[in-house]
Structure 1
Amino acid sequence: MGADLFISYAWTSERHREWVRLLAAQLKALGFDVLVDADVDYGDDLSGFMRRVADCEHVLLVVDQNYVERADTKPESGVGKESRWIAEVYEDRAPAWLSTLFVDNASCALPAWFGDRMPKGFDFNHSPGSQQEFPGAGQIEDLWRWVAGLPANRDSATPIATLRERATRLERQDLSSSPAQWRSPHLVGETHFMYEDAPGNRFHWGCGASEFALDISGRSYDSVYVHKDPIKSVGLIRGNDVDDADLAQHLTPGRSVTPQVGHSVVLMNAHGRLAVVEILRVQHEDTNGSQYVPPFVDFRWRVVESS
């Protein structure tokens, strides 16, 4: 299997060579296997160069004015040899095999061997006075689309229905990860908390001195970890007959507690107020079935008025 792309260019100047190397580096950073002259052993006749180039999925000619001159008038130069060998196999390749990139070549001139043929070209010429003086991300994306075999027209390549579907996905993701999605102003409430979607795995309720945050992570099929990180302390309540006046006695010095379904947790915030959270249902992450089931916990909370 050959490389994704071979880049043919003229050694016009050190600046030009560096520009081509940077272009190759950018394409390599996208993940393409790119060959330039330093990667190819010309060898004798066609033994080195042609074997490597002919096996490439695509060939890109970086055509400046010097490239055209060398291809047309200097057959023994590197560009002259490359042009001759590329021309010999050009007719046997698909139209998308070869493309041209014009730089320092305002007239977009091509070597004479092309004749009336006009392969796809990319204009990287500097255009003073235009809105985009220097080529940039747009042209790199055009190159990517060509090498990747995608339609050149970005608008017609993607149906409107698909664009709307993508926008809907983005909107849903933004909504699910928005802190406002995982917050309630109420002092008493109940929620279905898909904690891995929430920033920091946290659900907030209340406000000011009555604000609390529940930080949850998965533990088992019927239990979770409740962490004290966003507040001052947490505690575990295993029974239902605990008086509000005794809640503080259940607070622990540890970092977390592990309530099961049916247990409750007492929280103390930075203002010393208390809240009780009752664990109603726990669902651990399930990746074994035909459909992925995300982890969640259903819980009920109340801020203790007497605290």
Structure 2
Amino acid sequence: MGADLFISYAWTSDKHREWVRLLAAQLKTLGFDVLIDADVDYGDDLNGFMRRVGDSRHVLLVADRNYVERADTMPDSGVGKENRWIAEQYAGHEAAWLCVLFIDNHGCTLPAWFDGRMPKGFDFNHSPDSLQQFPGAEQVEELWRWIAGLPANRDSATPIATLRQRATRLEQQELRTELSQWRSPDLEGQTHFEYLDAPGNTFTWGFGDSEFGFHVSGCGNDSVYVYKDPITAVGVIRSKQAGGAGLARHLTQGRTVTPHVGQSVVLMNEHGRLAVVDIIKVQREDTSGHEYVAPFVDFRWQVVESS
């Protein structure tokens, strides 16, 4: 299947070309696959590009007065060739396949080959005496509803502004839960970890046999629970001891430990490697105020080389 939309227009002026390309860019931003001559690479066959009109789901003629004149009187021009091919395809498609956008064409004149047929049209004409500015949000919405095959009656439709807000929320949530946001390849580092946003409340660092998962949940005002689930064992370091062998003595048999701010935790992964985590700051979840405060833990980690 071809593109969602093929746009046919005349190179009336630099200003007009820029207007049409901006319109195409807006439709692309909304998620449509749009074919326009600006997408043709140097050296490509423009005639071949224009013949793709028959494979497109929809065709839009941007009909200013110059476009209509070229279609009617200049058969060897780009507009003339496109209109010849479009006219050949028109009879074999449903009426909704083609629409005309009128701009700088207040009489809404059509090329002669339409011969009395009245396709759907979008009036983007602008009068200097009018307070309206085109294209406006309402006109662009009518255009994309046609491309998407939605009914023109929008009584039960969701406003485009609301759809954009929803899309923004979905993208922001996707970014928060993206795994790459919650891991680091470094063997030593520091992070601010809002753990409720992370999959499994887990931050991962390292790689290979030096990879560790730091799984936490809220506990007290200055403490968190640290779980052994993504690794093998955890423990709170009760006194400073050098070397991997000394750190291993602090590992416990239980599922969790509860370090406080200022304390350190030792982790052992499935390969027997050790890492030390220093708890720097803790914030509990707070729903009592006007604004929600997300829980977090600031910590520093280091994979112990001698382990």
TM bin, normalised by shorter chain, reads: 0.5 to 0.7
User: What amino acid is aligned across from residue 92 of structure 1 in structure 2?
Assistant: G
In 1: Cα distance, 2:263 partner to 2:11 partner: 68
In 2: Cα distance, 1:69 partner to 1:28 partner: 29
Q: Who is 1:276 aligned against?
A: none
Contact 1:5 1:58 in 2 (8 A): yes
What's the offset of the Cα at 1:116? 1.3
Q: Who is 1:225 aligned against?
A: 217
Cα separation, partners in 2 of 1:78 and 1:50, compared to 1, 3 Å: closer
Contact 2:195 2:201 in 1 (8 A): no
User: What amino acid is aligned across from residue 71 of structure 2 in structure 1?
Assistant: A
Cα separation, partners in 2 of 1:255 and 1:57, compared to 1, 3 Å: farther
Q: Who is 1:69 aligned against?
A: 69
In structure 2, list runs of 5 or more residues that go unmatched.
170-176, 178-193, 203-214, 226-258, 266-281, 284-307
Q: Who is 1:204 aligned against?
A: none
> Does structure 1 residue 29 correspond to structure 2 residue 29?
yes
Q: Who is 2:7 aligned against?
A: 7
TM-score with structure 1 length normalisation? 0.52
In 1: Cα distance, 2:135 partner to 2:224 partner: 61
**CA RMSD, 1 decimal:** 3.9
Q: Who is 1:290 aligned against?
A: none
> Does structure 1 residue 41 correspond to structure 2 residue 50?
no
In 2: Cα distance, 1:150 partner to 1:235 partner: 51
Cα separation, partners in 2 of 1:5 and 1:216, compared to 1, 3 Å: closer
> Does structure 1 residue 144 correspond to structure 2 residue 144?
yes
> Does structure 1 residue 19 correspond to structure 2 residue 19?
yes
In 2: Cα distance, 1:131 partner to 1:25 partner: 25
Contact 1:27 1:144 in 2 (8 A): yes
Q: Who is 2:86 aligned against?
A: 86
Paired positions, count = 191
In 1: Cα distance, 2:89 partner to 2:68 partner: 19
Cα separation, partners in 2 of 1:133 and 1:216, compared to 1, 3 Å: closer
Contact 1:67 1:79 in 2 (8 A): yes
TM-score with structure 2 length normalisation? 0.52
Alpha-carbon displacement from aligned partner over 1:49-79 (angstroms, at most 9, x marks no partner): 4641101111100000100111111111111
Percent identity, aligned pairs only, is 64
SS for the counterpart of 2:125 is: coil
In 2: Cα distance, 1:100 partner to 1:27 partner: 16
> Does structure 1 residue 103 correspond to structure 2 residue 106?
no
Contact 1:4 1:56 in 2 (8 A): yes
User: What amino acid is aligned across from residue 68 of structure 1 in structure 2?
Assistant: V
